[in-house]
Amino acid sequence: MKIIILKIFLVVIILVSCNEKAKTKEILKPEFQSIISSSNVNGSILIYDLHKDLFYSNNFDWAKTGRLPASTFKIPNSIIALETKVVENDSTLFKWNGENRAYKMWEQDLILRNAFQYSCVPCYQEIANKIGEKRMNKYLKKLQFGDMNVTSKNLDIFWLEGESRINQFQQIDFLIRFVNSELKISKRTEEILKRISFIEENERYRLYGKTGLSVRNGNYNGWFVGYRKSKNNTYFFAINIEPNENTNKELFPKLRKEITLKALDLMK
């Protein structure tokens, strides 16, 4: 009887220990909330420290809530396009049809690299239509990028409106698997994605990522996802923000990157 009680006690201790260990993986970072508040927005900063295997955030509930991926979907969309040979490389040309577009920078012929960096929606709608519903769903299942709702009717818009959802944890999980070569895609595709998603570098780090912006019923939701590689560590990030009553909406798109860089500078 004593042996049974001892075994039960040991099991309880192990379970409690595992539970405590799991809890330590999510660290509340009040300094992140200060950045959010001073930027006059609402939202969540989520950063994963690869070396320490820890998540940091000001709002984990927000980070676990699924939202439209918006143009962050250009990352998997580019991967699928390259894997299916819908586009050959980052120099594949997308011809402008001469029609007016939402932004002047889109009103020109663009190669894939620039289409990605300028976040050209019409270019990526063309890509999605060429991929097709069947192949899109097949590869999304393989890549495990959130919960995308793709049909023949919404094939060129499902990442901007509708029921597709991804949360910040899922964004980071996807990026970790990409960096670790766990997506089961070609090395060539990986290298092209790294080239087109590269943002900047200095003596301390190299920054990769993609922004996203969706507007539903006049309500803005902004993303910035990516990773920062340095000599000794890699930080993965997924920032999701929305304007509040004090937000200057003209400046809102720039805030995504500004907030992210401030948060990353706090990581040691």
CA distance 224 to 37: 17
Give the C-alpha separation, 194 to 169, whole Å.
21
- Please give the C-alpha separations between residue 73 and each of 58, 67, 139, 185, 261, in angstroms, as whole numbers: 24, 12, 13, 17, 21
CA distances, 123 to each of 24, 75, 84, 150, 213 (Å): 43, 13, 16, 18, 16
Neighbours of 192 (CB within 10 A): 23
User: Would you state the torsion angle of the CA atoms of residues 62, 66, 67, 70, taken in this order, to the nearest 10 degrees?
Assistant: 120
- The identity of residue 107, as a single letter, is E
Q: Which of 87, 76, 92 is nearest to 190 (CA)?
A: 76
Strand spans (E) along 63-125: 93-94, 110-111
Catalytic (active-site) positions: 71
Rounded distance, CA 108 to CA 243, Å?
A: 31
Strand positions, DSSP E, 179-251: 198-201, 206-216, 219-229, 234-243
Using CA atoms, how far apart are residues 268 and 261, in angstroms rounded to an integer?
A: 13
On whether the CB atoms of residues 115 and 94 are closer than 8 A, the answer is yes
